[in-house]
């Protein structure tokens, strides 16, 4: 027999061979061997079901965390090129868009009358939303 440092690997290979038999045998044979060994398949199933349920919950949490991380990465990405345009150009894009949206046009007109014109921050936010919705591309051109 080789040294103890190989014992874990040897045990692993023996286990693999045992499990190969186990995986291939028909249900009836497996249940008969359980009975012979004094094992309770129902108890084994209950224990396994608990492990599986925990795994389902854990996997769900991992997927949600991955989705949140993905969303955070998207939000952290540099702004679309449209927000880097001169303010005047950005206003023109908003106004072009508003030309097809009477509700928005009314709001912009009212705000301008009140001297409450859209701030650049508001305009950038609006433009980012249009990019994310796919209404305009990153350079502000209608899609």
Partner 1 sequence: MDHAAANDTLSRDEAHAAVAGLSDTDLARLLVAAQRLCAGTAYAAKELLNEAVCRVLVGDRTCRRDLPVVATLVGAMKSIAWSARVAAKTDPVALGSVGADELPGVACRERTAEEALVATANHGEQLEALEALFTDDEEAFFVVMADADGVPAEQVRRDLGMSEAAYATVRRRIRRKINKAYPKGWTT
What is the token pair recorded at 4?
Answer: 């103890």
Residues 90 and 82: beta-carbon distance below 8 Å: yes
What is the distance, to the nearest Å, from the Cα of residue 76 to the centroid of all Cα atoms in its chain?
Answer: 15
Site string for partner 1, 53-92 (x = CB under 8 A): -xxx-xxx-xx--x--------------------------
Out of 8, 76, 88, 121, which residue is the one contacting partner 1 (CB under 8 A)? 8
CA dist 63 and 116 (Å) reads 44
Q: What is the DSSP letter of 86?
A: -
Q: Is 106 in the site for partner 1 (CB under 8 A)?
A: no
Residue 118 phi, psi dihedral angles, 5° rounding: -60, 130
Integer-rounded Cα Rg, in Å, for the chain is: 32
Out of 38, 78, 103, 115, which residue is the one contacting partner 1 (CB under 8 A)? 38
Residue 36 CB, shortest distance to partner 1, in Å, is: 7
Of residues 38 and 78, the one with the C-beta less far from partner 1: 38
What is the token pair recorded at 23?
Answer: 């995986």
Residues that bind partner 1 (CB under 8 A): 1, 4-19, 21-23, 27, 30-31, 33-34, 36-39, 41-42, 44-45, 47-52, 54-56, 58-60, 62-63, 66
């Amino acid at each position: 027999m080789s040294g103890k440092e190989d014992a874990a690997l040897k045990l692993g290979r023996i286990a693999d061979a045992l499990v190969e038999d186990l995986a291939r045998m028909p249900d009836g044979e497996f249940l008969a061997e359980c009975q012979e060994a004094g094992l309770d398949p129902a108890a084994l199933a209950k224990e396994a079901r608990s492990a599986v349920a925990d795994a389902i919950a854990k996997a769900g949490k991992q997927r949600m965390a991955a989705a949140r991380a993905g969303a955070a990465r998207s939000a952290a990405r540099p702004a679309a090129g449209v927000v880097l345009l001169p303010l005047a150009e950005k206003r023109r894009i908003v106004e072009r868009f508003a030309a097809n949206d009477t509700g928005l046009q009314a709001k912009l007109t009212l705000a301008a009358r009140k001297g409450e014109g859209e701030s650049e921050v508001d305009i950038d936010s609006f433009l980012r939303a249009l990019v994310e919705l796919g209404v305009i591309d990153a350079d502000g051109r209608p899609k």
